[in-house]
A and B are shown apart, each in its own frame.
Chain A
Amino acid sequence: MAEELEKVDVVVVGMGWAGGIIAAELAKAGRSVVGLEKGSSKKRSDFIGVKDELRFDNRYHIMQNLSGDTVTSRNEVDDTALPIRTTKDMQLGTDIGGASLHWAGATYRYWPYEFEIRSQTIDRYGEDKIPDDMNLQDWGISYEEMEPYYEKWEYTAGISGEQDPLAPERNRPWPNPPLMETPSLKLFKDATANLGLHPFQVAAGNLSQNYENPDGEQLNACMYCSFCTRAGCDFAAKSDPLATVVPTALKQDSFELRTRANVRRVLYDEETQKATGVMYVDETTGEEYEQPADVVVLAAFAFTNNRLLMLSDIGEQYDPETREGTLGRNFNGQYNSAFNGTQGLFENERFNLYMGAGALGAAVTDYAADNFDHTDLDFIGGGAIELRQYGFGAISSSNNRPSDTPSWGKQYKADSLHYAYRALRIWYTNIAMSYWHNYLDLDPTYVDEYGDPLLRATYKFGSQERAIAQFGVEKCHEIMEEMGADIIQDDEVPEEFNHVYSGGHYTGGVVMGEDPETSVVNNYLQMWDVDNLFVVGGSAFPQFGGHHPTPTIGALSYRAAEGIEEFLENGEQLATAKGTLRA
C-alpha cells in the first residue's frame, strides 16, 4: 500500500515553466509546496562540455523515454490507433525544466484577436465565416487582462527583443535588447521591407546581455554556440526554468522538489468534490506514496494533464458521437500543417549557419492573426513568417541540397558538400484550430508499464488546415524570391497528419473558457467541477495561436498562481460561469 505523507498546502505535478512558476510564486508567498517531477534531476553542469549533435538532435538525449509511457495516434474516430514508439517520431520534454529545457526561445504574445477569436470573427465577417466542423472558442480572457502576466513572465525569463511594428504597443519594453543581426537575418529583413512588409528581430529567450531577473536570478549573455534547441543551455543564457523559477523556488524553505516522482493518480473525494492529493511512484525504489494537499496543481505537458484526469476519473470525457463532455475536447496543436514554407539555395553565398541561437531570427507578422483581410480567404487567423538561424550541426547541414537530387551516392555527396551552408529556410507559424473530430481519450488496447491505458490522440486536418498552410507557402515563396535565392524549393502541403509529433506544440483537452459547457477550467485554470484542482499549461488552449506557445503558457501560469493564492485565502470557485453559444 502507498505510504501517506504529510499534508502540504500545494502539490505541483511537473517542473517545467508552468510548474516552476506555480512553485516559485506560492513558495515565495510562504505556502508549503511540494513539486513532483517524473523525470530526473538536471542542472547546468549536465550541459557543460557535451555539445554533441548526435546525442541531442539524433538520439534525443533529453526527451522523454517512451519505453514506459507514450501516446497512441489515429486520424479518424473509427480507426485503430497505433502507439508512437520512437523519440524520432515524438519528442516530449522530461526532467527538471520539462519541455522548456529544449525550447528554442521564440517569443511572441498571442494577439488581442486570437483571445477573442470567435466573437471578433463573427463581428467582422459574420457567423458564416466559421466552418461547421470548427470548435472555435474565445479564451475567456482578453489580451488586456493577459498583458501584465505576459510582462511578468517576460521579465522573469529575460526576453531579448524589439517592438514588432504591428503588435500592440507594449506597456514596458522587452527586458533586454534584441540579439545580433546576421547576414541571413538582414537578407530576410531587406527583402520583406522591399515587399512592403514590416520585419523585426524575433524576441528571444536567449539573452543578448547579462541580466538579473526580478527574483534575483543571474542569466548570462548568449554565446551563439548553436547547441540550444533540443539541447539544454550550458551557460544560463537561455530563458528556461533551470536558470529562473526552479532555483527561485528552491531558495524558499517551504518548497521541496522530488524528482523521479511519477504521479499516476489524482486522489479525489466524491463527497466533497475535492481533490485530496496525488498518488505517485518513486521511480528509483518503486515505492508508492500518497501526497495529500489542500490544492492540487497539474502542470505537466498537455498529454499528461489530460491523461491524469482521465485515469483519475475526474471531469466528463468528451464523446465525438454525442459531442457531449469537455475533457479531451478541443485537442489541438501545430501539427504538420504548420511550419511549412520554402527553402532557398544560394549559389553565390555561403552563410555561417553552424553558428546560431535557438531564437535568433527575423519575422514579419503582416500575415498573423487578423492583420490582413480574410474576406476572400478560405481560412481565418494566421501566423508569423520567420527565418531562424538556430545554428546547425554537420549531420543536419548535410541534408541541404536540391530536392530533386538523390539522397545518397556520389552526386549526393558532392551536392550536400556544396549546399551545406547555402540553404536558408523560411516558414509560416500558422494558427491551428480545434475541430469536433479531434480529441483525447484513453486507448482501449495499449498500456503503460503499470498496465494503465495510454492516452489516445485522434487528429486529422479540419476544413482550413491545408488552405492556410498553402497560403503560407505562397507568401514564403514571394519573400524567398525577393531574397534572391537561385533555387526555391517549396514545401508540399501534406494531405493529412502523418503521426509525427516532433514539434512539441500540442495543446488543449483541458481548455479554459467562461462556459462550463465548452471548457474544463475557468480563466484562472481552476476546474469548474473541482475547486481545489488547477490544470495549468498548454492543455488550457482552446485552439492554438499563430505563434509558438511558451510565452502564453508562462503568462497563464502566473495568472493561475495568483488564482491559487486567492483560493487558499477564501476557498471558493474564482469565476462565475457564463453561458455562451456552444461552438
Chain B
Amino acid sequence: MDNNERKGKEHKEKTFSRRDFLKTSGVAAGGIVGGSLLGGLVGMEHGSNNAQQPESATGSDGAEGGQTAQAETYDARTFFSRSEDFETLAAATERIYPEDDNGPGAIALGVPYFIDKQLYGFWGANGTDYKMGPFRPMASDTHGRQEKLNRGDMFLLGIRRLQEVSQEEHDEAFHNLDEETQDELLKMFESGDVEVPGMRAEAFFSLLRNTTIEGVYADPAYGGNKDMQGWKMIEYPGPRMGWTNDIQSEEFQSLEPESLRSYQGGGV
C-alpha cells in the first residue's frame, strides 16, 4: 500500500483574494452590463493570478503550484456555445452560492466551468442512464428522472427559459438584474411556477442547485472548488490515508485541506 502511505505535500495558501477581485470588478453588486462579462471577468482574474505567479514560483509552492495556476488559465467553455447562456448560468450559480463574509461565491470558485465540464462528459449525456422509451416525464411525481432530455439539454433549455422569463417579466437579461429580482425568478423555477418544455421547472432548478453545490465542494480536479476555497470555508480536509490517530479526539480538527492530486502524489 505504498501509494496509500504517501502523504500529500503541504500546499501554500494562495494570497490572491477573489473576493477583493469581485468587489473591484463589480460582479458582487450585480451591476456590470455586457455580453462578455464573464469572459472578461475570468480573463482579469487570471491576469491577477498570473501576476502572483512569479511570487508563488519562487516560494515553497514549487512546480505543483505552477501547474495548478496553469490549469486555471485555460478554463474555457467546451459545452456551452452561446456566451449569454454561460453568463446566465454563472449568475444563477452565484445566487445559489453567493460570495459573503465567509468567502468566495460560485463564480470565483469556478463553478460555472465545473458545470460546463460535467455536462460535456458522460454525466451530462446521461451515459449510465436507461434511455429507452416510451418517455412519460409528467406521468408521475415520484419516479425520479423520466425526461427524454439529457442533463446537458435540461441545463440549456432551462437556462434559456430563465432568460426568456427574465426578458418577459423585466425586459432585461437575467445576469443584469439585481440580486433580489434574480432570486425571485429562481424561486419561480424552484416552486414549479414556470412552464419549461420537456421537464418540470423544479427538476431543472434542483439539477442547477445540486450541481452548483457539487462544484463548490467537489475536488478541484473537476474544475470547481478553486484553490480548495470551498473546503476551506467548510473546514473539510480533503482525502487522507486515514484518521486512526485522530478519530477519538474530543476536539474538532480544523486542518488545511489537501487535494486529490496531492493525495495521489502529484500524478505523472
Q: What 1/0 mask marks residues of chain B from 227 to 254 whose CB sits below 8 Å from any chain A CB?
A: 0001101111101111110111110110
If A86-B145, A88-B144, A88-B145 touch, whether A54 touches B214 (CB-CB below 8 Å) is yes
Q: What 1/0 mask marks residues of chain B from 117 to 145 whose CB sits below 8 Å from any chain A CB?
A: 00000010011111110101001101111
The CA of A508 and the CA of B9, in the complex, are separated in Å by: 50
For B140, give the chain A residue with the smallest CB separation.
A82
Cβ-neighbour of B235 out of A182, A222, A420 (below 8 A) = A420
Are B247 and A59 in touch, CB under 8 angstroms? no
Of A224-232, A243-251, A426-434, the one touching chain B: A224-232
- Find chain A residues with CB under 8 A from B212 CB: 408
Are A394 and B247 in touch, CB under 8 angstroms? no
Are B209 and A67 in touch, CB under 8 angstroms? no
Q: Is A193 an interface residue (CB 8 A)?
A: no
The CA of A352 and the CA of B95, in the complex, are separated in Å by: 30
Of B42-50, B65-73, B76-84, B259-267, the one touching chain A: B259-267
Interface residue total, chain A, C-beta cutoff 8 A: 69
Of A122-130, A131-139, A409-417, A549-557, the one touching chain B: A409-417
Are B102 and A417 in touch, CB under 8 angstroms? yes
The CA of A493 and the CA of B166, in the complex, are separated in Å by: 38
**What is the minimal beta-carbon distance from A360 to any residue of chain B, in angstroms?**
8
Interface residues of A in 398-456 (CB under 8 A from B): 398, 407-410, 413-414, 416-417, 420-421, 445-447
Q: Is B87 an interface residue (CB 8 A)?
A: no
Are B263 and A49 in touch, CB under 8 angstroms? yes
Are A394 and B263 in touch, CB under 8 angstroms? no
**What is the minimal beta-carbon distance from A217 to any residue of chain B, in angstroms?**
16
Q: Is B56 an interface residue (CB 8 A)?
A: no
- Find chain A residues with CB under 8 A from B213 CB: 395, 398, 408
Interface residue total, chain B, C-beta cutoff 8 A: 62
- Find chain A residues with CB under 8 A from B116 CB: none
Q: Is A2 an interface residue (CB 8 A)?
A: no
**What is the minimal beta-carbon distance from A188 to any residue of chain B, in angstroms?**
15
Q: Is A147 an interface residue (CB 8 A)?
A: no
The CA of A227 and the CA of B219, in the complex, are separated in Å by: 14
The CA of A516 and the CA of B237, in the complex, are separated in Å by: 56
The CA of A547 and the CA of B127, in the complex, are separated in Å by: 34
The CA of A500 and the CA of B142, in the complex, are separated in Å by: 8
Q: Is B98 an interface residue (CB 8 A)?
A: yes
For B210, give the chain A residue with the smallest CB separation.
A58
The CA of A398 and the CA of B235, in the complex, are separated in Å by: 11
- Find chain A residues with CB under 8 A from B144 CB: 84-86, 88-89, 499-500
Q: Is A355 an interface residue (CB 8 A)?
A: yes
If A58-B214, A225-B243, A397-B234 touch, whether A89 touches B145 (CB-CB below 8 Å) is yes
- Find chain A residues with CB under 8 A from B263 CB: 49, 51
Q: Is A73 an interface residue (CB 8 A)?
A: yes
**What is the minimal beta-carbon distance from B48 to any residue of chain A, in angstroms?**
24
For B219, give the chain A residue with the smallest CB separation.
A52
- Find chain B residues with CB under 8 A from A53 CB: 217-219
- Find chain A residues with CB under 8 A from B231 CB: 394
**What is the minimal beta-carbon distance from B107 to any residue of chain A, in angstroms?**
14
**A65, A82, A89 — most chain B CB neighbours (10 Å):** A82
Are B248 and A48 in touch, CB under 8 angstroms? no
- Find chain B residues with CB under 8 A from A182 CB: 247-248
The CA of A91 and the CA of B250, in the complex, are separated in Å by: 35
For A399, give the chain B residue with the smallest CB separation.
B213
Q: Is B163 an interface residue (CB 8 A)?
A: no
**A58, A87, A180, A408 — most chain B CB neighbours (10 Å):** A408
Q: Is A181 an interface residue (CB 8 A)?
A: yes
Are A355 and B243 in touch, CB under 8 angstroms? yes
- Find chain A residues with CB under 8 A from B221 CB: 52
- Find chain A residues with CB under 8 A from B209 CB: 407-408
Q: What 1/0 mask marks residues of chain A from 333 to 360 whose CB sits below 8 Å from any chain B CB?
A: 0000000000000000011101110000
For B123, give the chain A residue with the smallest CB separation.
A59
Interface residues of A in 217-257 (CB under 8 A from B): 220-227, 234-235
Are A394 and B145 in touch, CB under 8 angstroms? no
**A49, A220, A221 — most chain B CB neighbours (10 Å):** A49
Q: Is B1 an interface residue (CB 8 A)?
A: yes
Are B1 and A48 in touch, CB under 8 angstroms? yes
Shortest 7 CB-CB contacts between residues of A and residues of B: A223-B242, A51-B239, A89-B144, A355-B243, A394-B217, A394-B236, A350-B252
Interface residues of B (CB under 8 A from A): 1, 3-4, 95-98, 100, 102, 123, 126-132, 134, 136, 139-140, 142-146, 183, 186, 209, 212-214, 216-219, 221-222, 230-231, 233-237, 239-244, 246-250, 252-253, 260, 263-265
Question: Given A53-B219, A408-B213, A420-B235, 19 more contacts at CB 8 Å?
Answer: A48-B4, A49-B264, A52-B221, A58-B214, A58-B218, A66-B129, A83-B130, A85-B130, A89-B144, A220-B1, A221-B244, A223-B244, A224-B242, A224-B243, A352-B247, A398-B217, A413-B97, A421-B235, A499-B143
What are 25 A-B interface contacts by the 8 Å CB criterion? A49-B264, A52-B219, A52-B239, A60-B128, A66-B130, A83-B130, A86-B126, A86-B129, A87-B128, A87-B129, A180-B244, A183-B249, A183-B250, A234-B1, A235-B4, A352-B247, A356-B243, A356-B247, A393-B217, A408-B97, A409-B95, A420-B235, A446-B132, A498-B142, A499-B143
